[in-house]
Homo-oligomer: A and B are copies of this chain.
């Protein structure tokens, strides 16, 4: 089956978690808003959001069209793709545990976003800079180590080992943690350079994901958008200044 992914065309954003899963699965997909062909592009995405198509109205991108189904919310899309493409365990316990980790990634991502947008997502960063400095300082001092420490411990406690978060095989949660680590390195390079040895399992996971043949090909391709200051992970050096 070929999928249609609906997400903003110029950023990795939350859509990137879905792109990584589709790439690892080797699925065919159209990244709708990035297509310049007639009938595609951002206007098509907006038509969906306006509720003129599909049964189930999404609140916001990303959403995925699979045949006649439209599935929104990043973690929900991954739950769906995980089942279909072997990116999560089949049995209920491992399946929900993978999803639980993904929802914790979602919370982490929300907090990362709010370091540069603590007041309003509808305002520019420049309009909330003092608040962003305050929030970023708390994030880097308290929240970042808490989340990284959590995922490191999950890796440590996975008795089936092999470096993945769940059981003995890669899941979409590994892809998502890879993406967060890559984004944090982009946004907070000084902070991330200071903590390399403490999170050695996370570092190994990041490397292992980057070396998956399909992911490696994807990361080198034009399909992988660069990080930039419109996405979730933004490099504003003043937010690392403390």
A residues near B, CB below 8 A? 51, 55-59, 69, 71-73, 75-76, 79-80, 93, 96-97, 99-100, 103-104, 107, 110, 114, 118-120, 122-123, 128, 131, 134-135, 138, 142, 147, 150, 153-154, 157
Contact = CB atoms under 8 A, between A and B. Distances in A.
A119 B141 CA distance: 13
A85 to B, nearest CB: 15
Contacts of A58: 100
A51 B153 contact: yes
Contacts of A55: 157
A57 B154 CA distance: 7
Q: How many copies does the complex hold?
A: 2
A65 to B, nearest CB: 13
Contacts of A72: 100
| For the complex of A and B, 9 pairs with smallest distance between CB atoms | A120-B138, A73-B103, A59-B104, A73-B100, A76-B100, A56-B97, A118-B118, A119-B135, A131-B131
B118 A135 contact: yes
Nearest to A110: B110
A79 B96 contact: yes
Given A69-B93, A122-B138, A128-B134, 10 more contacts: A59-B147, A59-B150, A76-B99, A76-B100, A79-B96, A107-B110, A114-B118, A119-B131, A120-B135, A131-B134
**Secondary structure class of chain A's binding surface, majority of residues:** helix
A231 B150 CA distance: 24
A21 B212 CA distance: 41
A76 to B, nearest CB: 5
A154 B119 CA distance: 28
Nearest to A128: B134
A76 B103 contact: yes
Contacts of A57: 150, 153-154, 157
A84 to B, nearest CB: 10
B56 A71 contact: no
30 contacts: A55-B157, A56-B100, A57-B150, A57-B153, A58-B100, A59-B107, A59-B147, A59-B150, A69-B93, A71-B96, A71-B100, A73-B100, A75-B103, A76-B99, A76-B100, A79-B96, A79-B99, A80-B96, A110-B110, A118-B118, A118-B119, A118-B131, A119-B131, A119-B134, A119-B135, A120-B135, A120-B142, A122-B138, A128-B134, A131-B131
